[in-house]
C-alpha cells in the first residue's frame, strides 16, 4: 500500500502518499452529476487571498471549514465545483469510489497570490494556473465559473 487513508466524512477520504506526503481528496462513495458532496463554511474571512483561501465574492476570501478541504487539488478537467453562494461542493461528472476529487481553481479565483505549473495530466491542461484575471478568457467557456468571476469578467 502506497497511501495512508484518512476517513474525513461519510463520503470522502484524504489519501496521503507515503513517499511524498502529498495529500489528495477522494470519494468514498459513488456520486452522480449535481450531487452535493459536502457543505463548507468559513473558518475565517480574509480581505486578501492566500495560498489556501477560496474566493466567495468580489472582495472576500475564506479559509475553508472543514479543514481537510484544503487538500482538494486542482485539475484542468475537474470533477467537482465549489459553489461559493450555496457553500456546497457539487459533483460535475459521475464520480466513482476512490476517484480523486478535483476542482478548477480559477473557477472562484480572480487573482492568485501564487500561480503554479499544472501537472494534472489532462490533454486540456492549461499548464500554468493563475487567477482568471491573467487567463485568456477564450479558454474559460467550458468551465463552470462562479457568479463573482463572471461579473468580474464582464466588467
Binding site for Zn ion (CB under 5 A): 76, 118, 120, 125
Min CB(76)–Zn ion separation in Å: 3
In whole angstroms, what is the distance from residue 59 CA to residue 41 CA?
17
CB nearer to Zn ion: give 36 or 124: 124
CB nearer to Zn ion: give 9 or 130: 130
Query: Would you call 32 helix, strand, or coil by DSSP?
Result: coil
- Cβ proximity of 61 and 53 under 8 Å: yes
CB nearer to Zn ion: give 42 or 126: 126
In whole angstroms, what is the distance from residue 78 CA to residue 74 CA?
7
Min CB(136)–Zn ion separation in Å: 15
CB nearer to Zn ion: give 24 or 28: 24
In whole angstroms, what is the distance from residue 17 CA to residue 24 CA?
9
Min CB(122)–Zn ion separation in Å: 5
Min CB(125)–Zn ion separation in Å: 3
Other C-beta atoms lying within 10 Å of the C-beta of residue 125: 15
In whole angstroms, what is the distance from residue 124 CA to residue 127 CA?
9
CB nearer to Zn ion: give 118 or 153: 118
Min CB(23)–Zn ion separation in Å: 18
In whole angstroms, what is the distance from residue 47 CA to residue 82 CA?
19
**The three three-digit cell numbers of residue 147, written as one number:** 457568479
Amino acid at each position: 500500500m502506497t497511501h495512508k487513508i484518512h476517513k474525513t466524512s461519510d463520503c470522502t477520504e484524504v489519501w496521503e502518499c507515503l513517499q511524498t506526503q502529498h495529500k489528495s481528496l477522494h470519494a468514498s462513495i459513488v456520486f452522480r452529476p449535481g450531487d452535493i458532496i459536502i457543505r463548507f463554511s468559513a473558518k475565517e474571512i480574509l480581505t486578501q487571498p492566500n495560498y489556501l483561501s477560496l474566493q466567495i465574492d468580489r472582495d472576500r476570501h475564506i479559509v475553508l471549514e472543514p479543514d481537510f478541504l484544503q487538500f482538494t487539488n486542482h485539475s484542468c478537467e475537474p470533477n467537482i465545483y465549489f459553489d461559493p453562494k450555496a457553500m456546497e461542493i457539487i459533483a460535475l461528472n459521475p464520480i466513482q469510489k476512490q476517484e480523486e476529487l478535483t476542482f478548477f481553481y480559477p473557477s472562484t479565483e480572480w487573482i492568485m497570490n501564487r500561480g503554479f505549473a499544472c501537472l494534472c495530466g489532462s490533454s486540456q491542461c492549461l499548464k500554468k494556473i493563475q487567477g482568471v484575471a491573467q487567463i485568456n478568457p477564450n479558454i474559460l467557456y467550458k468551465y463552470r465559473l462562479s457568479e463573482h468571476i463572471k461579473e468580474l469578467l464582464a466588467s
